[in-house]
Structure formats: structure tokens, C-alpha cells
């Protein structure tokens, strides 16, 4: 028994000497070994890497013209006389600094080279001049507030939709800006299946609208997207969440096309992402 104990002590001593020599020659060897045996650590947070709104445009096609206003950017669709989409970044600072009142100065957007819709197109149509970039998101600047009433930022929405579920979602977006510090918002109508037109300029009446919201503040990156029918609803907002892949199918847009890690984007777009939002 004494011989066996002596052998064990010698083996332990030899092992200790070997480890000491390894550490002296390469201090990272032991720590690396220990780390490899520990539980898996979470992957680094994913960042959208957006420094300006232009970094977040859906893929631009040849001939597309992007119009830049104080508070939002848009791609105008001449066929349906409204924006294909609007995009802007909303920050906690902008929400908290918002003191501007609604101007209600609906007017044509003279920047649109082909001519925009007019307020008269909506007159007695039964549809609201529904904001795509909400006026309440533009309270941080008098110019941004005023330009939010350009007709290029309007789309025909049923009153129950515009003043109901759509308004609830817009309010929620401002809450998310306060919670997350800085978010990207991309909003637009769905042109697929349009059958009704209003006004002299034949403004198309969408049956659906989409909204994509991304948290772009470090250290987190998360995204959520919605598809809502242009009608009244009392359903919870989360019930309208959809995958970005489904939005790309119905709109034809390629969201986050400029992101360098398209493998990550593909995985993200395939899921319905509500974690961390509700």
C-alpha cells in the first residue's frame, strides 16, 4: 500500500511539473484547455451595421430614385402614386425632444419629378390620407413635421385601420425607440392585388401594409416585421408579426441587402422574430 501511494504521489508531482512547464512556455495553453471544457458561451451580439438611413434601403433597382426629406427617405411609385416604402431612424432623443405640433398642411410633393398625388385625390373617397412615416415620429423638427404631410408620404387607408390598429403599431414603435435607443423603421404599402383607385391621379388603394423595425443600438440586434390588412382590427399587434421572407415574397423587395453577413440575414429573415419586443 505504501508503494502504491508513493507511486501516486510521484505521478501527481510529475503532472504538476509538466503543467508548470507548459504554462511557462505558453501561458495560454491551460486557460485555453479550461475554456474548451467549460460550457458554451453565447455568440457575440449581432449588429446591423447601419450608420445612416441609406445603409438600410431595400435593394435598389436600376432607375430607382430615392427622395430624401428631413425626417425620412422614400422610393416613389408612379404607377400607384404613393411611396413604395419610407425609411428612417428613430431615436430615444428624437422621441423625447418632440414638441412640434401637427401642421395638417397636406400638399403635393414638388420634388417628385413625375408629380405626386394631390390632397384632392382623397376628397370624398372614404379613405384617410394615411401617413407612412407618422407625423408623431417627426415632432423633433419643424421641417420634418411639415414634410411628413407631403402627399408622397400618404397612402389611402380605411379610417378604422388608420386610426385604430395602424395607430397602435405606430405608438408601439415609439415605445421601442425609447426602450432600445435607436431603431430603424421601414414602412410601405403592398401593391400586390390592388383593384381600387381613387382621385384624378388614380391612387392605388392597398389591401395590406408592412412595417419592418430593427434595433440598431449596440450591443443588441433584433428585428421584427408586420403585415396588416387595410381594415379595422382589435387583434393584439403580435398576431400580425410575420417573417421578413414572407414580406419579401409579397412585396418583391430585398430587405437588408447591403448587410455584409448575408448568411446571418437569411437565417434571421426566415423566422418570426418577436423575442425581446413584446
Of 134, 133, 223, which is closest to residue 176 (Cα–Cα)?
223
Q: What is the C-alpha separation between 238 and 203, in angstroms, rounded?
A: 30
Q: What is the C-alpha separation between 20 and 27, in angstroms, rounded?
A: 9
| Set of cell numbers at residue 218 | 449596440
Classify residue 219 as exposed, middle or buried by CB count within 10 Å of its CB (0-12, 13-18, 19+): exposed
| Set of cell numbers at residue 172 | 408601439
| Set of cell numbers at residue 249 | 415574397
Return the residue matching grid coordinates 431615436: 91
Distance of CA 163 to the CA centre of its chain: 22
131 catalytic? Reply is: yes
Query: In sequence order, what are the residues at sequence separation of 6 or more whose Cβ sits closer than 8 angstroms to the Cβ of residue 83?
Result: 74, 75, 76, 77, 132, 152, 153, 155, 188, 189
Q: What is the C-alpha separation between 180 and 213, in angstroms, rounded?
A: 11
Instruction: From the candidates 69, 73, 131, 259, give the one annotated as an active-site residue.
Output: 131
Residue numbers annotated as active site? 131
Amino acid at each position: 500500500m505504501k508503494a502504491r501511494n508513493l507511486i501516486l504521489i510521484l505521478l501527481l508531482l510529475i503532472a504538476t511539473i509538466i503543467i508548470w512547464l507548459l504554462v511557462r512556455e505558453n501561458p495560454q495553453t491551460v486557460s485555453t484547455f479550461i475554456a474548451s471544457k467549460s460550457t458554451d458561451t453565447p455568440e457575440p451580439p449581432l449588429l446591423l451595421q447601419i450608420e445612416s438611413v441609406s445603409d438600410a434601403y431595400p435593394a435598389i433597382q436600376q432607375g430607382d430614385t430615392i427622395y430624401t426629406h428631413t425626417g425620412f427617405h422614400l422610393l416613389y411609385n408612379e404607377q400607384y402614386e404613393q411611396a413604395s416604402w419610407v425609411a428612417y431612424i428613430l431615436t430615444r432623443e428624437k422621441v423625447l425632444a418632440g414638441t412640434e405640433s401637427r401642421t395638417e398642411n397636406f400638399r403635393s410633393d414638388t420634388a417628385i419629378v413625375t408629380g405626386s398625388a394631390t390632397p384632392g385625390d382623397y376628397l370624398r373617397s372614404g379613405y384617410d390620407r394615411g401617413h407612412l412615416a407618422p407625423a408623431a415620429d417627426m415632432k423633433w423638427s419643424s421641417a420634418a413635421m411639415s414634410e411628413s404631410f407631403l402627399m408622397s408620404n400618404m397612402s389611402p387607408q380605411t379610417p378604422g385601420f388608420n386610426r385604430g390598429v395602424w395607430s397602435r403599431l405606430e405608438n408601439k414603435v415609439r415605445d421601442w425607440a425609447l426602450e432600445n435607443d435607436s431603431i430603424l423603421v421601414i414602412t410601405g404599402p403592398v401593391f400586390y392585388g390592388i383593384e381600387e383607385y381613387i382621385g384624378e391621379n388614380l391612387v392605388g388603394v392597398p389591401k395590406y401594409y408592412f412595417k419592418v423595425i430593427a434595433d440598431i443600438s449596440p450591443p443588441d440586434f433584433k428585428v421584427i416585421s408586420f403585415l396588416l390588412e387595410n381594415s379595422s382590427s382589435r387583434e393584439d399587434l403580435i398576431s400580425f408579426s410575420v417573417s421578413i421572407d414572407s414580406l419579401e415574397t409579397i412585396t418583391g423587395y430585398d430587405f437588408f441587402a447591403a448587410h455584409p453577413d448575408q448568411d446571418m440575414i437569411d437565417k434571421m429573415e426566415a423566422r418570426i422574430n418577436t423575442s425581446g419586443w413584446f
